[in-house]
């Protein structure tokens, strides 16, 4: 039986969770995740965890934050005076926002704190700084 190697097209069912048991993503009830192994389409630790699997194999992998979304960057957290916050938008912790950039692009942020004076915006990926656990099943290999 062949094993998954770089350049192979694979389809994977997965459940991603944190060490406290929180499930942050899953393919349950959806089509399996399809990607080309080694192409950079998924985080590096996911790629290396799938490599060597056989169709039908079940496997649990742990991915340290450095091989996932990296450490949280304190420079990606900024405070905005609450008076400068847009009218009509009630700031609350967890609210995702899209900020327009000078170059015409946009930046996804989440409100991480609200005080009487400031709103704290965090542009880090929600899983930055976290070690991840994935339960995997290789469904198809081509």
Query: Buried b vs exposed e over 69-87: b needs ≥16 C-beta within 10 Å?
Result: beebeeeeeeebeeeebee
Domains and CATH numbers, the chain: 9-70+127-141 (3.10.50.40), 74-122 (2.40.10.330)
pLDDT reading at 35 higher than 90: yes
Q: What is the pTM of this model?
A: 0.83
Which segment of 13-17, 46-50, 97-101, 115-119 scores lowest on mean pLDDT?
Answer: 97-101
pLDDT in tens, 100-113: 888 988 989 999 99
């Amino acid at each position: 039986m062949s094993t998954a190697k770089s350049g192979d097209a694979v389809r994977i069912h997965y459940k991603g969770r944190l060490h406290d048991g929180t499930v942050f993503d899953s393919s349950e009830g959806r089509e399996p995740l399809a990607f080309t192994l080694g192409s950079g389409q998924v985080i590096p630790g996911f790629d290396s965890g799938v490599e060597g699997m056989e169709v039908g194999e079940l496997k649990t992998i742990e991915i340290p934050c450095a091989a996932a979304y990296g450490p949280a960057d304190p420079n990606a957290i900024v405070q905005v005076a609450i008076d400068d916050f847009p009218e009509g938008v009630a700031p609350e912790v967890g609210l995702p926002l899209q900020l327009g950039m000078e170059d015409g692009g946009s930046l996804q942020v989440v409100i991480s704190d609200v005080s009487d004076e400031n709103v704290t915006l965090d542009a880090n990926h929600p899983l930055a700084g976290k070690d991840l656990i994935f339960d995997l099943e290789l469904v198809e290999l081509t």
